[in-house]
Structure 1
Amino acid sequence: MQEPQQISVSKLIRGTTGVYVKVRVVRKWKKEDFRKAFVGEDFSLELILVDEEGHVIQATVGKALIQSFEDKIIEGYTYKIGRFQTFQNRGYDIATAHKCRLRFGSTTTIERIQALIPKSAFKFVSFQDIIDNNLDGRMLIDVIAEVDAYDMVSNIDNLERTYLWGQITLLAMGTICRRCKKNIIQIKYKKEKPIVVLQCVLRVPHEGEIKLSTTDNASKILINPNIPQVHEFRARNANKPPRTRGIVHIKTKDILAGNIKTIDELKNIEKAGTYVIVAYITKIDKTFKWYYNGCKVCTCRAGKKADGLWYCSQEECVAYEIGNHYRLTRFQAKFYIEDAYGGKAFIKMFDKLIKMKVNKSVMQCIEKLKEAGNDHGIPAEINEFQHKEYVFKVEVDNRFNLQLNSKCYNVIDFSDNENHIKHWKSEYKKIQDITSIIDMPAISAKTTAENLTAGGGSGTVPVKKKYADINIGEETTAASNAGNKDSASKKMKSIKIEKE
């Protein structure tokens, strides 16, 4: 019988046999079984392995073999592993980019050894890739960042938000939250902003934004770990100015990036991202149902199949077969909006944002409608969104808005506070002033003289009317426009709002 040969992890392909690998276990965790009949039980033992060359691969120990291997495998130690199987790396909670994954069988051998193998195998991703959706949503990723601030979310048990670099929020849940909070507080008393390494976290849509979330068991948070990447990160960002908080709901960084737009400008944008607009909600789309049945785990829609169970619409969700006890009814609403320039579009709002104004659950609203004998109506609290001006932070999605050319935008945040609206109108005015100066063509003396002659000798140059200079609702008559053409390509439009 031929002796097994050592192989590099990078050369493993599906169906490889007769080989062994020398690796270090850099991460070990148990994956929970979310199937309805087995909720609370362990589904598998998952490992991340790194070899001498720094290549990583994920390994899985099935449910039936967990007891056989759990005590033999210790995180941080090196092993020689043979007689394993390889299969396609797919499913959810994928921890490496390797095309294959190892599977332990009943004949798999594992021997503890001494070997010079890296003690960590982080594959850090940038915030830009996270925000731009350049990653597989099923992948567990590693992130290095500075903690900007943190706070407890009181309405969700054991959940903490940690703001990373003022750009992305980490949702840390359960025991991870309790473990890291004390360390973060101690470091903040020393007036240091901690550097955190997030291992095996998920990129998730939450409350209309892209956020990072820990998983039940796979994720690990290291605070100020003594590794080269942390020292490089700290040195690289040592001279960066401190970040400041913006007004409530909408962050100041959006205006610094020139992200405040009119609706027509929003429709012509060619880059995905978040933008700010000021607009009226003119009416609600009554053909769009105001609530939906969703998965309690990932917030996606859930549907009932012939077997009577509710299923998440995303097959890669950890709770694909969610069952009735994982179903949650959530708010949704679609509105028509129009801004002061006459631009029109649709927006969608979902559960958390609507609850900010409604202060009721979906079921409470349904019961109230039933009592009024209006089962198919829309709650009065949602109807009250109409005929008001708001400042919205909306997402331009790469697929739906850019590729499919949809003019319906998801709202990430909003405010009807008059001070917020005035603030953003004035910021739009500032940006347009700067743009006008930059785009102003050179005017020759001859052209100027011709213009003055054509204009009746007047030395007054028409000035572009700015967003903040207009009173919304002001009538623009033909007489007021006669003899004074506006040089701007966009013109303000009076919005008449009539209640239905």
Structure 2
Amino acid sequence: MEGKNIIYLNDIDGKTRAFTIKVKVVRLWKRSNPKKAGETWAIDMVLMDEKGTKMQATVWSNDFKKHEKILQQNECYTVFKPRFDKNNQKFKHFDTKYVLTFNLETTIRKCNNFIGPTHGFEFSTFKSIKNGGVSSEFRTDFIGYVEEWFAREDTTTRYGKQSYKMDLILRDLEGIALKLTLWEEYCDQMQEYISKNKEEEHIVLIVQFGSVHDYKGTINVANAYYITKLFINERNEEIVNFKRSYIGKASVTTSTHRSIGQSGVTSNEDEFLHNTTFSTIRQIREIAQVMHVIVVGTVMAVDKDSEWYYLGCESCNCKASPSLQFPEDDNGSDDVDPKEVLVCTNKKCKRDVVPAVHMYKVSIQVEDCTGIVNLTLFDRDTVKLWGLSAKQLVDKYLQVSDDEKTIPAEFNAFINKKYAFKIHVKKYNVDNKVDGFSINKLVDDPAIIAKLEKKFDVVPFEEFDSMILPTTVSSSQSDAGVKDSKSYAVDDSTPLPKNYESRKSPCDLKRTLEDSNDLDNSYSVSSTKSRKIETKEDIKAQMKDKLLIPKLEK
């Protein structure tokens, strides 16, 4: 049987015959025929076994008919009787003695029990690269924080070919900077990410199978054509851990860091004060188009009825759901036990069965002087706020409790703090008149918050009772009450109190009895139910029925 003679790549030698390997295709690309435009000459691959050893492999055009359809990147296979040759290629990507060829005598079958690493990264440090300790002859992996990037530049190569590139500055955890040049399709890949994620602040990049260049005594890195693979801010373990460590060491604050959206880069002050529309919580409900808005509010509570994390696809961040798969074993038998795998729920995701990581999805209630709204805080900002990954908190709390809805004590540090939020009003919110918004970004800079609060054009909350919006509603709406509403309304036509202008800020109010107690009624509502219009009587009843729980003296 094929499965009884499986060997590792390092065990291949001149005496090996008719052997079987179990490998993952971590990289696959097509090599063009240099003598005939548009014709594929060969399929090249990087194979990795369960020990993480990598080796080049090739399928030549004469053997495409047998192997081309089954071979895919990121898939695992058992390969019986590959041919091996000495590694005498002009471009040696790896320091191995042999390379493999899949020919007509080779048999390839998909394998579902590969237990090796997911990516097989072998990182070189920036220090070793800059000191000349990494060979320019072979490919290497490196990871860094994208500190700066420069616009695309058209250029001519030393061979006279017209080309284009973009340069980036990467920085590692030791503070060492390294210049990276991305050429052509890799330049396009990075530019596409930037254009779709302009608000992203913390970008970590992994370059797998990159190239080291020594140009006039200056060592830089670049992509190697075809073989290089970019991981841009993906949710794999290596990037998540690097990002958390980098942010912690650099002590990056929300008021000083800039997004990746421009090479000149927009500051938080510009983004929150000048480039995005400001809104009160009450006004959000009146928005009739997809847009981003800025709101200022205090975090009142974390929703205890919602799970605060989920398993997400590390490629696209969408939810990954468990599914049973019935694989064939290596000998072709169907009599095997089903295997539970994770399947990405995003239909546009290029991968079906996916590796997944724990990600934050924290539902919070935020209040300003005009009302209350439910917002959702996702992984990027939550990690930045607490310096802990969702996986760390899951491990910590599920070890002592089986209740997956247990709210970590770390979340208490978020309560009663004021932030400026940039939120996204989506098409779903507008079309269905549904509240509940995603947070794209938040800052706690007192200077930014103070300037934003001057934009409030509402009456103080304590005087709200006498200034209810006189709205005409149907009897059915009135009877329904406001149990499912998230915000309170103030009549724009009602004159402001005479002493309004003398206040420092519309939110700097004298504490009321309600401010001195915890509300048992959380105002929380379903994010999937339509908005309802409040009457004066409805809101009075809500305020009257709140159960106050005295706070304990600390």
TM-score (norm 2): 0.40
TM-score (norm 1): 0.44
